[in-house]
Amino acid sequence: TLVIKSNATESISSADQASMLGDFIMMVSALILAIKILFIKSSLKLVPSGTIILWHDLIGVLWFIPVAFLFERSQLSMEYVDGSVLGGLAYQGIIVGGMCFAIQTTLLQKYSATR
């Protein structure tokens, strides 16, 4: 079930409606994810999984920071950053992101990427 959270009281605003651009972005994202999974599967034959995990995380962080500053500079503010925000970022990045990628590489070592 999909629930759309909206501030609109009577009608759906144009921001809440589906668009071709949104569909295109989702398709490109799915394509990039599929390419990444197939690349990781083929790389696991040559490179240990720990090395792939390390470089995946380092490259991801090194790209994320400048892109965030480029596109979200007007929204950045240290006013609301506290221990809970930093803890949430650490949990999301290290525990959720890192562990999920580690589990994915472990599964790709055992099973086919096309199933």
Per-residue pLDDT reduced to its tens digit, 60-103? 878 888 888 888 888 877 888 889 988 998 898 888 888 888 88
List Cα–Cα distances, 40 to 35, 43, 51, 86, in angstroms. Answer: 9, 5, 11, 30
* pLDDT given at position 73: 81
* pLDDT given at position 1: 47
Percent of the chain with pLDDT over 70: 84
Higher pLDDT, 87 or 113: 87
pTM score: 0.57
3-class SS of residue 114: coil
* pLDDT given at position 4: 58
d(CA 2, CA 36): 27
The residue ranges of every structural domain in the chain are: 20-110
Per-residue pLDDT reduced to its tens digit, 5-58? 655 555 656 666 778 888 899 999 999 989 988 888 888 889 888 888 888 878
The mean pLDDT value of the chain amounts to 81
Residue type, 18: A
Quick check: 113 and 38 in contact, CB under 8 A? yes
Quick check: 103 and 54 in contact, CB under 8 A? no
